[in-house]
Structure 1
Amino acid sequence: MKLKNSLLLLLTATIWGVAFVAQSVGMEHVGPFTFVCARSVIGGLALLPVIAVLRQTGTNPKQTREEGRKARRALLLGGVCCGAVLCFASVFQQVGILYTTVGKAGFLTACYILIVPLIGLLFGRRCGAKVWCGVGLALVGLYLLCIKDGFSISLGDGLVLICALLFSLHILVIDHFSPKVDCVKMSCIQFFVCAGFAAVGMLVFEQPSWEQLLAAWAPVLYAGLLSSGVGYTLQIVGQKGMNPAVASLIMSLESVISVLAGWLILGQTLSVRELFGCVLMFAAIVLAQLPERIGGARRAAASD
């Protein structure tokens, strides 16, 4: 189960890493609130037929009226919380990218790998020493991968740091609700809630038009169907039952994958420094996975 969840989160990171190109291109035609609103509507609509098919083919466990009421309440509350946090995190990221470099934005966004276990401590979620070593190793790898011309804090950097904090909260909210609800339904609700919040900002701060959306149809469609509809749904399913700190480490590979995608698809070169950063990131993921397996082997050996 843990291996399956890890692979789902790795696929999520791959989709998000490649989607960075779509986000950058889309922002050339529409504002951040419009982009987030459009992609979220597409993501939500894409999941409706999936939910319908699962309802026809799945088997619903028997529940009392009280159990059903609690399940629906948890599903609605989880979807609203996830959608609200996702909206603000996405908007802060989109706006922050306008005022900082792509490298800094990638590094600062992925700082959720440090923020998640720190916040988790407040709620009694402890991590082993190897997970913390993995976090530190990943941060060094991200720095080598993303930061090239010194490090300073600007307005855009501050906005992306807020985005990293919000994405950390999003991961922890999913960790709380995913064991209790239907993950696909919660993902669908979160997209429509996210779209609703983004629509308010779109109407207040931007002047969207159909011409702008048509000009950005390809990146919006990719971000909506794959990055939102598939990616965030896989995140919810993959995080179910996983340590959120380990999950955040796996998903932070989106920074590595975005660089590799630029190398493979766009022909961008990778320096020795960047390659070493990629190696450190992958090593951090492997290290974070070791505690349970080694601990489990020792317990098994002791019982023999």
Structure 2
Amino acid sequence: MSTQLKANLMLLIVTIFWGSSYLFMKMGLVSIPEFNLIALRFGIAFLLAGIVFYRRILKADFKTIKYAFVLGTILFSVFASITYGIKTTSASNAGFLVSLTVIFVPLLLAVFFKKMPEKRIIFGVSLALTGIGFLTLNHQFKISIGDFLCILGALFYAIHIIVTGKLTKNADSITLGVLQLGFTGAWGLLFSIFLETPRLPSTTESWVSILVLGVLCSAIGFVTQTIAQKYTTPTHTGLLFSLEPVFAAIFAFAFAGEILTTKGYVGASLVLLGVFTAEIDFKKASMKKGYNKINQGY
């Protein structure tokens, strides 16, 4: 098995973990307040990732800590939006709506950095927006607050990706990634202290959801992603991560009995198709394939 294939399999496992996170967030929110859940999830993730990379963290300079604070603040905004949103929408809907991050990244780059999106991205955006309409609008053509917050979370996540790309050029990416988990958890704890009553999970189901979110979805997910992305291409990474909403829908159906309406499935398919269209450069892939055939003597 090639190194790249192993890396792709690792990223697929991470995608499965993240696909399950929407279901586990809904489970955890039954008995734990929103900010409390964020504090526990990212607090556990920071402790575990910190143990693995403690030598790097001890060497962190002020600039890296400052950058991590910025990223942690944005990441907190991401999960505050999604965690509140998922209380009033389905795990399936949340998964597909958060996948719009792939659409928002090139749009934000176009707006703030004057990088005009390619035609395939514009087409992908059109498909995704149509899909959102099918997936979220009711008979009164209104979108629920939960769906809106999940879309807002996708927007914040796109900002996080762009800012991360800028900041990691001048800092150690692993140290930055671990410290941002700590700041995200700290923001969750701060908001929980002022707006909620912080507490530990009181049921087995709550503990399971928190541990899965903290250990598998955040700590192991982050470490695995960092290692795997060294050995595969950004295209493969984006494509694999685009499968996250599919796994979210599978977990929601298998363990929570969630079933989308016919209109919902049409919308989900359009969103997924839009994400794939925006992510894959078919023209470039075709040219590369033709080049390889020439080199192989075809």
Unaligned runs of 5+ in 2: none
Question: Secondary structure of the equivalent of 2:85?
Answer: helix
Query: Of residues 159, 169, 172 in structure 2, which corresponds to 1:169?
Result: 159
CA distance in 1, matches of 2:248, 2:101: 17
Does 2:162 align with 1:188? Answer: no
Contact 1:107 1:147 (C-alpha < 8 Å) held by counterparts = no
**1:30 aligned counterpart, secondary structure:** coil
% identical aligned pairs? 23
Contact 1:135/1:249 (8 A) holds in 2: no
CA contact (8 A) 2:92 2:252 kept: no
Q: Does residue 254 of structure 1 match 2:254?
A: no
Cα offset for 1:12? 3.3
**Take 1:204 and 1:39, find their aligned partners in 2: how far apart are those partners?**
18
Note the 1:108-127 alignment, pairs <5 A.
108-121=97-110, 122-127=112-117
Aligned twin of 1:96: 85
* Equivalent of residue 48 in structure 1, options 43, 47, 50: 50
Shift of 1:257: 1.2
Please say if residues 39 and 188 of structure 2, whose CA atoms lie closer than 8 Å, have aligned partners that are also in contact.
yes
Structure 1 SS opposite 2:53: helix
Query: What's the RMSD between the two structures over aligned residues?
Result: 3.9
Task: Give how far 1:27 is off.
Answer: 0.4
Structure 1 residue 299: Cα displacement: 6.8
- Residues in 2 aligned to 1:107 and 1:189: alpha-carbon distance in whole angstroms: 28
- Whichever residue aligns with residue 185 of structure 2, its letter is A
The yes-or-no answer on 1:160 pairing with 2:162 is no
Structure 2: which amino acid aligns with 1:33?
A: F
Question: Are 2:221 and 1:231 equivalent residues in the alignment?
Answer: yes
How many Å separate the matches in 1 of 2:265 and 2:144?
Answer: 27
8 A contact 2:96–2:272 mirrored in 1: no
- The residue number in structure 2 matching 1:201 is 191
**Are 1:294 and 2:286 matched, yes or no?**
yes
SS at match of 1:21: helix
Contact 2:22 2:86 in 1 (8 A): no
- Select 2:212's aligned residue among 202, 210, 222: 222
Distance 2:116 2:151 in 1: 23
2:33 equivalent among 31, 34, 44: 31
1:81 alignment partner in structure 2: 70
1:68-95 deviation line (CA, Å, top 9, x unaligned) = x9x8455333322221111121112212
Tell me how far 1:103 sits from its aligned partner. 5.2
Where 1:216 maps in the other structure, the secondary structure is helix
- Contact kept, 8 Å, 1:128 with 1:291, in 2: the verdict is no
Q: Is this contact kept in 2: 1:105–1:157, CA < 8 A?
A: yes
* Aligned residues of 1:107 and 1:255 also touching (Cα < 8 A): yes
Note the residue ranges of structure 1 that are not aligned, 5 or more in a row. Answer: 56-68
Whichever residue aligns with residue 198 of structure 2, its letter is: P
Is this contact kept in 2: 1:112–1:164, CA < 8 A? yes
What is the deviation of 1:39?
0.6
Contact 2:7 2:228 in 1 (8 A): yes
CA contact (8 A) 1:178 1:236 kept: no
> CA shift at 1:120, angstroms?
1.1
The one-letter amino acid of 1:193's match is F
Q: Read off the aligned partner of 1:292 and give its amino acid letter.
A: K
Corresponding position of 1:63: none
- Distance (Å, rounded) in 2 between the aligned partners of 1:38 and 1:212: 13
Deviations 1:169-198 (A, max 9, x none): 112122223455443322210111111111
What secondary structure, in the 3-state scheme, does the structure 1 residue paired with 2:159 have? helix
Q: Aligned pairs, how many?
A: 287
SS in 1 for 2:87: helix
How much has 1:165 moved relative to structure 2? 1.8
The 1:107/1:210 distance shift into structure 2, 3 A limit, reads closer
Tell me the amino acid that sits aligned with residue 220 of structure 1.
I
**Cα shift readout 1:276-298 (whole Å, capped 9, x = no counterpart):** 66665665565433343234456
